[in-house]
Amino acid sequence: MTASQGDHVPEGFGFRTGMRSEAVAVGFAVFVFLLGSLFVALGMVLAVGEGLWGWVLALAVFELAFVAGFAAMMHMARQRHRSG
């Protein structure tokens, strides 16, 4: 049976494409959050070492964006559980 005959074929990984479990969505959200936060923390350490306090402030704001993105991804993961 082909996709043209009515079967759903996943179109890749993501929250809105393909069918992935809640656990996979949560794992992806945690991975992205930890990796992004690690890079921001590294940038902050390097900026403090150079005395670039403006960059430290900018990276702190960037980290807040990571936290907001993580919260949104977790919300989408929980919605996946309820709808599935």
Residues 32-43: pLDDT tens digits? Answer: 889 989 999 999
What's the predicted TM-score (pTM) here?
A: 0.63
Please write the tens of the pLDDT for every residue from 1-40: 455 555 655 555 555 555 567 788 788 888 888 998 999 9
Measured CA to CA, the distance from residue 24 to residue 13 in angstroms comes to: 10
- Rounded to whole angstroms, how far apart are CA atoms 74 and 31? 12
Using an 8 Å Cβ cutoff, are 66 and 40 in contact? Answer: yes
Q: What separation, in Å, do the N-terminal and C-terminal C-alpha atoms of the chain show?
A: 24
